[in-house]
Amino acid sequence: MLLPCAADKPDPAIPAASCGDEGLTINMAKFYITTPIYYVNARPHLGHAYTSVLADALARYHRLKGDEVFFLTGTDEHGQKVERSAKAAAQSPQRFTDELSQAFRNLTPALNLTNDDFIRTTEDRHKLGARELWRRAKKSGDIFKKKYAGLYCVGHESFISEKDLMDGQCPEHLTAPEKMSAENYFFALSKYTPLIKEYYARHKNFVIPEAKRNEMQAILNDGLEDISISRETSQTSWGVPVPDDDTQVMYVWFDALTNYLTALGFPDESAPLFKKFWPTDVHLVGKEINRFHSLLWPAMLISAGLTLPEHILVHGWITVDGQKMSKTIGNVVDPFELVKNYGADTVRYFFCRELVIQNDGDFSYVKIEERYRADLSHELGNLVQRTLTMVEKYANGKTPPPSHGEAAPYLESYQNAMTIFALDQALAKVWEFLASLDKAIEEMKPWVTVKKDPAAVNALLYRLLESLRLAAIMIAPVMPETAQKIWTALGLSTLRPESAILKWGGLKEGTPIKKGVPLFPALNK
């Protein structure tokens, strides 16, 4: 699957740019995926859970394929907004961020995430790397000091231009900006416009999906502007100190983005994790922070002499019952509550199946319960139970001799969809596969056929069992617990990369099945 990039001569101006062809290529030996680090001025909500589940499903998929995977998440803890929220809660910023960071960390067990690390930007290992990146950018001549005055939105943690205001307020934060003048450090982002344009030209799938790439391309065509990357400590002191200047701390984004490096051990470029996993294969981000990852981040990396990421994968937002989540409307959904009610696998399935990565999606209790009843309980759960019951009845509870199946087209479509991160399409293929099995049962009616042609029934039963084995592998990245339950029911041990090969014929004749309780019992309502 690794496509060569022979046609692509690396540009010496872009350090160690990787394979630049048209396809979605990933270095198959390793896979480094990140969520954004979550900003800790409020508790985790549905959107955070969604991002983390998408990343986890992709991480699990690559692990099952046998790739070496590093999956990173964490919390972004600096900035004036956190400082003010802490003050409002009558806590020190450190204590405030300790508590909220832990709430985000709790997403891991709740959602059954497999992140390999959890980084906090208040950790020393992070600050060390963030400061080193600053020094490198300075050495490249990209950091300079500038005086300016304007309107500052605390919500944005940046200046906002008069023309973007609505009735004197920031339209996003609905607060009036504050008049401010400052002398800050700037990063020479404008200088990188041509290099980044070129990187986009050579990496057609750097930003996915295309619509989001086009948005970035439009900004690039207008030309990037230099950005302020520090704040005076008189304004906010809750940040990473600027090297060689105690009067300033880093702008929260300039500090936060470097987490993807510092978690791997940067600035020590000989650190084992850094050597193995850098550059990132997929930075998964919400659309509101796309430009930081797709325009600023590459410039910072080029400035510091580092390799650029392969893909920025941009997902849409989740609304609840068609409305933006907000405390005022009172429709904020607590992911922990959701998992308690429906189980982690169901929540994960909903995120990956009902919501399409590149679009905005909608959550409602009606929709998640419909998915539970129709897809999980009826189509998957019943098929498993029905198959096992027939194997007990007609084959002494043991796997019959191998027979043919029609899995190949489904397996192929599934893999193609996963390669382009289309989890919803991949799952849709699995459910088509399940439907084809249901149809085969209805057509043969084993309870009738068994009397005159037991061999035909045995052949069907093998086909069903083997197909369920393959389906379990395919759903494992999204529903790991369910996949293992199916695997166990088939008389297999632990679902591991060595055994998770998507190829017909893995089940051995005579393997005793272990029929358990139904996978998705009726919801008690």
Question: What are the residues binding Zn ion (CB under 5 A)?
Answer: 153, 155-156, 170, 172-173
164-207-32 Cα angle (round to 5): 120
Q: Which is nearer to Zn ion, 155 or 316 (CB)?
A: 155
Nearest residue (CB) to Zn ion, 18 versus 290: 290
What is d(CA 185, CA 129) in angstroms, rounded to the nearest whole number?
18
Residue corresponding to tokens 């005793």: 512
Nearest CA-CA partner of 362 in 316, 313, 421: 316
CB of 225 to Zn ion, least distance (A): 18
Minimum distance from residue 15 beta carbon to Zn ion (Å): 34
The structure tokens listed for 56 are 């986890």
Instruction: Quote the least distance from Cβ 155 to Zn ion, whole Å.
Output: 4
Q: Which is nearer to Zn ion, 328 or 494 (CB)?
A: 328
Q: Give me the least distance between CB of 471 and Zn ion, in Å please.
A: 47
Minimum Å gap between C-beta 173 and Zn ion is: 4
Please state the closest distance from residue 428 (CB atom) to Zn ion, in A: 38
Chain center to CA of 153: 29
Using CB atoms within 10 A of its CB, is residue 59 exposed (0-12), middle (13-18) or buried (19+)?
A: buried
Q: How far apart are CA 134 and CA 382, in angstroms?
A: 57
Alpha-carbon gap, residue 3 to 525, rounded angstroms: 51
Sheet holding 361-363, edge to edge: 323-324, 318-320, 361-363
Residue 77: CB minimum distance to Zn ion, A: 20
Q: Which is nearer to Zn ion, 159 or 336 (CB)?
A: 159
Nearer CB in complex with Zn ion: 288/392: 288
Token readout for 272 is 């084992």
Instruction: Report phi then psi at 283, rounded to 5.
Output: -95, 110
Convert 32-80 into a string of H (helix), E (strand) and C (coil): EEECCCEECCCCCCHHHHHHHHHHHHHHHHHHHCCCEEEEEEEEECCCH
Of 19 and 153, CB closest to Zn ion: 153
Residue 298: both structure tokens together = 């590459």
**CB-CB contact of 89 with 40 (8 Å):** no
Residues whose CB falls within 8 Å of the CB of residue 225, separated by 6 or more in sequence, listed in order? 189, 190
Nearer to Zn ion by Cβ, of 192 and 292: the residue is 292
Which residue lies nearer to Zn ion by CB, 39 or 363? 39
Residue 81 Cβ vs Zn ion, minimum distance, rounded to whole Å: 10
